[in-house]
Structure 1
Amino acid sequence: MSKDPLSNKQSSPRIAVAGAGAIGCTLAAILAHAGQAVSLLARGSTLQAIQSQGIELRRQAETYQVPVTVSDDAHTLGSQDIVFLCAKSHDLVGLAQAATPLIGPETLIVPMVNGVPWWYFERLPGQDGRRVKSVDPEGRLRALLPSAQVVGVVQFMTAERVGPGSVVSNTPALLILGEIDHTESQRVQDIVDVLNASGIESRHSAQIRDPLWMKIIANLTTNPLSVITGATLNTMYGDPRLLPITRKILFEGLTLAAAHGARIPLDPDTIIKETIAMGAVRTSMLQDYEHGNPLELAAIGDAVLELADAIHLPMPTARDVIAMAHYRGTSQRR
């Protein structure tokens, strides 16, 4: 597939957001409020709520009621120029199947997922055929979503669903996008331009796995521990009883990232200070635990340990905390 710029096709790209959870609704509402042509793939009570009243987004002291085109049938929405896939990693296969009619041969696929993505080894020299088994054990995502059409994205966006079609997102959002073969392209820059014009700070990276590792480490140090403790971001990095645990996981994650060739631009103390400054934010995994939903531990925890095991790197603190989070998640559903 070519990397033609979107601007060569039409000035206003057709954008679909597949998945109407906290992140999907937040993204769709911001884009639609900015005047972008956005369609949303949703279902159930969320579909009904958005059909009747649009998306309610509370963002930084303002509330928006944003109408969007919404459907539970991707065929009615048709092929799109850009498709954002917004789902937990364990729900991504089902969402990708439902979103197939949105994806034509030139559609750009932007998966807004946490943790280690299924595409991690895709389009890297010498890694042909290697996959992250924790997140794509049977290779179904690789088969459903052509890697030549996938644009990597690292999302620093927090949001919470407070009701069907109703979300709160009070922290500044940042999206970093890049080709997964570590080249620069106009098509990625076009997506970045659309997002920035819509009020979502976005950047173009020619080394997308560098910021990806920053996000992997952020998730690793906070999400599993939040399930065990119920703590918010500022507490996990600021409480003197929890900080030693968080710091150990942080150093384990930084060591693994370096072993995989990633360049992390921040030192540990800066990471700690910046996380504390985010305030009393509840992780997405803690929100899922409190609502009795499955936990996203395969991508955020197990896949990281898989990458560590592949190079015989011990991660004892992370491994113990992930195991305890698994226990909490499964015992809750018994």
Structure 2
Amino acid sequence: MAALLSHAGAHVHLVARGVRLSEVREKGVTLDDRGNVIHARPEACDALTRPMDAVFLCVKSQSLAAAVRANAAGIGPDTLVIPMVNGMPFWFFATPEGMDDIPYLDPQGDLAERLFPHQILGAVLLMTVRMEGNRALSSNTPTLSIGPIIEGADRPRIAALIEVLEAGGVRVDLTEDIHQKVLVKLLANLATNPLTALSGATLEEVGQRPVLREIATRLATEFRDWATMQGFTLPDNDWLVDLMIDAGPFPTSMLQDARAGRALELDAICRAPLALSRRDGTDMPLLARLIAELETQSALPLSETALPAVLGRLFPDTAFSKG
């Protein structure tokens, strides 16, 4: 995002820490979009010190509150705030009066205290990207759906932001139904991310291997059932399978984290939806078992030899144990 916005002529401040901050200050940032290399030198800092026109929060959901606290000086009452996180967003049930609590997403209330609903833009980014050294590699045109989460957003500011994004090569969709789009992406993330972290499979492999495909579609069905109760209509499992296969040999963000030994983004993608379903009188038993398995494994992803036994133990009512 920093490379694209800088390329469009925006004055970009990129917040980073430690070694990453030193790298950006010394080398700038590089995005390789299918051979089209964009290099930029945004102003790098360890925290924002004055209000920005717009702030993109590009951290994992478990780091969101800490990032907002650390950069509070950069978020004024008129600053547009765009959380670029996967999973169930903390703002999903916001009203003009404030944020409604969602389990796991804002346990200390920092986000509700520091951010106003009228300044938040919900966002769904469709961009397959991974880091290779100091270079971000992308394999598709970035598409960003954004939309106000309540009535009363600053439309001129949003229009100005969209102009900058599109100048940088981001295909922008301004939607009045960002909640629907968030749940569509969450359907795909919930059905694939934890499974790839456990199995080591790419999205394409999940779509092609019968056992993994069956797990993914059953996870999607559990989530879809809850969303239907909330009044949303989500794509069917044929759409999900096509999406996985079309993605090719792409490792999900959770698989990339598992391989690197980083904390998995389970709260927003898995635990919060499970808690909401139970709060609303339903359940997601397959997701619950998968979360429990991820929590007990000391090393992820599992080896190919260990995986069949785990799947057979977790899901004995199916043919999973046959591989």
Match of 1:259 in 2: 229
- Partners in 1 of 2:96 and 2:289 — Cα distance? 31
- Partners in 2 of 1:182 and 1:263 — Cα distance? 22
Would you say 1:166 and 2:140 are equivalent positions? no
Match of 2:215 in 1: 245
Match of 2:18 in 1: 44
- Partners in 1 of 2:46 and 2:286 — Cα distance? 42
Structure 2 gap segments, 5+ residues each: 301-323
**TM-score normalised by structure 2 residue count:** 0.87
Report the AA paired with residue 161 of structure 1. M
* CA shift for structure 1 position 119: 1.0
Match of 1:8 in 2: none
Report the AA paired with residue 187 of structure 2. I
**8 Å Cα contact 2:89-2:268 kept in structure 1:** yes
Match of 1:204 in 2: 174
Would you say 1:67 and 2:32 are equivalent positions? no
Say which SS state the counterpart of residue 68 (structure 2) adopts: helix
Identity of aligned residues (%): 33
Shift >4 Å, 4+ stretches: 182-185
Q: After superposition, where does 1:119-268 map in structure 2 within 5 Å?
A: 119-123=91-95, 130-163=100-133, 165-181=134-150, 186=155, 187-264=157-234, 266-268=235-237
* CA shift for structure 1 position 276: 0.9
Structure 1 gap segments, 5+ residues each: 1-26
**8 Å Cα contact 2:144-2:173 kept in structure 1:** yes
**8 Å Cα contact 2:21-2:46 kept in structure 1:** yes
Match of 1:117 in 2: 89
Q: In the TM superposition, what whole-angstrom CA distance separates every residue of 1:151-208 from its partner, at most 9, and x where no partner exists? A: 1111222322222x43222233211111112678624343333212211111011111
Q: In the TM superposition, what whole-angstrom CA distance separates every residue of 1:271-306 from its partner, at most 9, and x where no partner exists? A: 321221111110111111111111110111000101
Output the aligned Cα RMSD: 1.9
**8 Å Cα contact 2:4-2:38 kept in structure 1:** no
Over 3 Å counting, the alpha-carbon distance change for 1:113 and 1:227 in structure 2 is: same
Match of 1:281 in 2: 250
**8 Å Cα contact 1:297-1:326 kept in structure 2:** no
Would you say 1:95 and 2:55 are equivalent positions? no
- Partners in 2 of 1:281 and 1:101 — Cα distance? 37
Decide which moves more: 254-263 or 289-298. Answer: 254-263
- Partners in 2 of 1:326 and 1:246 — Cα distance? 19
- Partners in 1 of 2:109 and 2:249 — Cα distance? 38
Match of 2:318 in 1: none
**8 Å Cα contact 1:120-1:131 kept in structure 2:** no
Match of 2:321 in 1: none
**8 Å Cα contact 1:171-1:278 kept in structure 2:** no
Q: In the TM superposition, what whole-angstrom CA distance separates every residue of 1:242-281 from its partner, at most 9, and x where no partner exists? A: 11111111111211111112233x3321232122111111
**8 Å Cα contact 2:99-2:117 kept in structure 1:** no
Would you say 1:105 and 2:74 are equivalent positions? no
Match of 1:57 in 2: 31
- Partners in 1 of 2:131 and 2:277 — Cα distance? 33
- Partners in 1 of 2:199 and 2:170 — Cα distance? 32
Report the number of matched residues.
299
